[in-house]
Structure 1
Amino acid sequence: MEWNRVIPTFTNFNKTSSTFFTLWEDPQDDYIEFDRKYKQLIKKYAESKGVLPQFDLPPNVFNVSSIPWTHFEHFSSNSKISENQLTTMLTMAKYEQYSSKLLMPITVQAHHGIVDGYHISMFIDRLQDEMNK
């Protein structure tokens, strides 16, 4: 199966109940526009008590996760109960200054049936280029 576009899903934190929920947003051609829509979305659902406040997820998603409270060397959320083992997941941690550089750990979990190490390295290189701007 090949998707012409994939949709990012991301968790958000309800500060009142200390629980998480999953949101998704259509990709945009412009990062500034995506960021604006993302901020509107998390504000709209900030007090959500349901796991999926937007209801059904689109079928062509990838997960973006963040653990901004801590730094990690490795993270894995492998689960035998996951329905879709083909869904890619990106997990980022707290960024920290090391010498004159800011470092942010990122873990990419992807099924080898849909992506190779080459494609992940292309993603990492592009992410680094964007963060250097």
Structure 2
Amino acid sequence: MAFKKYAAEHEEAKVDMTPMLDIIFIMLIFFIVTTSFVKPMGIDYDKPESAQKSRAKGDNVLITVSKTGLITMEGRQVDMERVTANIERKLAETPGAAVLIQADGETLHGTVVGVMDKVKAAGVRKISVTQTDE
């Protein structure tokens, strides 16, 4: 007796994806419908401008003191007695300017302190002191 071979031997097992796609589309519709598109409540306001304007490079004053005691301000030589007057002139042009005192490593301490005193007498509140090794 001969057994009939099944045609299923050559067919591969397949999974029907239609129900899974239906579920995905139903979930997508659910999330779209339940999402709220409400504009958040709040107060519109204008931000005030900063009281301090950003300083340009020209707003700061550079004073250099060489190891021989030579004081240079903005590229020109200045006497110790003229430092206060020059700083006051610069403050009149740009109020709130900062002063950078750049002293050589071998400069006498008294000279640097003297320059700092003259700058403070002019009314500058922001003073920085750095040391250079030339």
Normalising by structure 1, report the TM-score.
0.33
Q: Which protein is bigger by CA-based radius of gyration? A: 2
Normalising by structure 2, report the TM-score.
0.33
Query: Could you say which structure has the higher helix fraction?
Result: 2
